[in-house]
Amino acid sequence: MIYEVRDYHYRPDLIGAYRTWAEEAVQVLRAHLDVVGFWVDEGTYEPLVKGSDPFDSPIGHANVTWIIRWESREAREVGYPKAFSGSDGAALVAKHPDINGYRQTSARFMDAL
């Protein structure tokens, strides 16, 4: 098993609308993907940035994170695009508050310990 950790820097001014959309969207995503969790930060909690060389990104910290479990990276390469094709994917996009509002996205792939 591998875990895909997806981080989004979404428009802070629309994060409330994004959360409302995501509450419905995550149910659709779970029907197609093994979603471990989905989290949204509306600015309630101040992030802790520490370490030997900490920095604050000019676009801020990721305010949306979700994790998907996969059998393998190969399964992910087939399964992820498939999950967003068809009528379910189109319906999600149609309801999205601003599909171009992602200032940055990243996906990391990790092994469980």
| Number of domains comprising the chain | 1
pTM for the model stands at: 0.92
Please give the residue range of the domain that contains residue 79: 2-43+60-111
Angle ∠(91,108,80) on CA atoms, nearest 5: 30
Inform me whether the pLDDT recorded for 35 exceeds 90. Answer: yes
Nearest partner of 19 among 47, 35, 43, 49, judged by Cα = 43
Output the DSSP codes for 48-113.
---SSS----TT-S--EEEEEEES-HHHHHHHHHHHTSHHHHHHHHHH-S-TT-EEEEEEEEEE--
CATH number of the domain where residue 78 is located: 3.30.70.100
Q: What average pLDDT does the chain have? A: 95
User: Sheet containing 2-10: which strands, arranged edge to edge?
Assistant: 34-40, 64-70, 2-10, 102-111
In a domain, 101, yes or no: yes
Q: Identify the DSSP state of 12.
A: G
pLDDT confidence tier of residue 89, bands split at 50, 70 and 90: confident
pLDDT at 90: 87
In a domain, 92, yes or no: yes
67-79 pLDDT tens trace: 999 999 999 999 9
Nearest partner of 85 among 73, 93, 76, judged by Cα = 93
Span 11-25, mean pLDDT? 97
pLDDT at 109: 98
45-88 pLDDT tens trace: 999 999 999 988 899 999 999 999 999 999 999 999 988 888 88
On whether the CB atoms of residues 93 and 87 are closer than 8 A, the answer is: no
